[in-house]
Amino acid sequence: MSFSPIPAYVFGTIFTGIGVLSFLAPETDYAVFGLPLEGASPASPTKGGVSPFVYAKGARDLAFGFTYFALQYRGLEEAVTIFSAVLCTVALMDGAIVSKFGGDQYKGKSWGHWGGLLPFGAYVAYRVQNSL
């Protein structure tokens, strides 16, 4: 079965946008991801510095987005499905990182990452079920 390319391109666009955010507005990306700035205190989580690691996260997200674009453009249906399944582990681990290191202000954002498992899991399940 051939799948609509739209979801893969939407996911690719979302990841690419998040990756760009890491480079253009790293302080904002900390809050979006759910972590306080480096050296911030619990009383003032938005007062601190930016770790170079946020740029590595941005590169990761750009790579995820570009991978979706490339796999879908080449028509590699099974690879899109497998890649989406692998990204479920990323959502799980990102949520765990925020839960452990996000502090009281951002701890609830871990559910945003874990909530990402729902659409990705449903997307993967749909694709697997309809490719049998």
Which tokens go with 8? 């893969």
The answer to whether the beta carbons of residues 2 and 77 sit under 8 Å apart is yes
pLDDT at 46: 66
Task: DSSP for 6-68, please give it.
Answer: HHHHHHHHHHHHHHHHHHH-HHHHHHHHT-PPBT-BTTBTTSSB--THHHHHHHHHHHHHHHH
Which tens digits make up the pLDDT trace of 92-129?
999 999 999 998 889 899 999 999 898 889 999 999 99
Annotated domain spans of the chain: 6-129
Q: pLDDT below 70 — which residues of the chain? A: 42-43, 45-46
| The predicted structure's pLDDT at residue 89 | 94
3 state DSSP class of 1: coil
